[in-house]
Amino acid sequence: MNINAKLMLAQTIVDIDGAYAPSTIRSYKTSFERFIQFCEDREVYALPADPQSVARYISHLTTRGLKSSSIRIMVAAISSIHKLNLLNDPVIPPQVN
């Protein structure tokens, strides 16, 4: 279901190489891969994602005991990958914040 998301993520990582710090690129890649897995487990699309899926993902991360700073990084990666692919940012709607 999310093969397009995986391909788009891979291409995005190639496209931004050199434009972002290597640590930022690694963070985007790892964070978005985890989001893809979450979406696959629930049979929803990761790219483009809908705000409800992002909200459920945040809730899921919270229940796993992650620090709020870690969750913010993961959500920022979702937002950035969408923006870099010229897609609507699913993080902006009120149900996500």
pLDDT in tens, 75-93: 999 999 999 999 999 998 7
pTM of the full structure:
0.91
Asked if residue 96 is part of any domain, the answer here is no
How many domains does the chain divide into? 1
pLDDT in tens, 4-50: 999 999 999 999 999 999 999 999 999 999 999 999 999 999 999 99
Asked if residue 90 is part of any domain, the answer here is no
- Contact present, 92 and 49 (Cβ < 8 Å): no
Asked if residue 17 is part of any domain, the answer here is yes
CA distance 88 to 22: 25
Q: Classify burial at 14, counting beta carbons within 10 Å of its beta carbon; exposed 0-12, middle 13-18, buried 19 or more.
A: exposed
Asked if residue 78 is part of any domain, the answer here is yes
Asked if residue 15 is part of any domain, the answer here is yes
Domain at 49, CATH number:
1.10.150.130
Q: Quote the mean pLDDT of the chain.
A: 94
CA distance 37 to 63: 17
| Number of residues that this document lists for the chain | 97
* Residue among 70, 82, 68, 67 nearest 36 (CA): 82
Asked if residue 94 is part of any domain, the answer here is no
Range of the domain at 47: 3-84
Asked if residue 22 is part of any domain, the answer here is yes
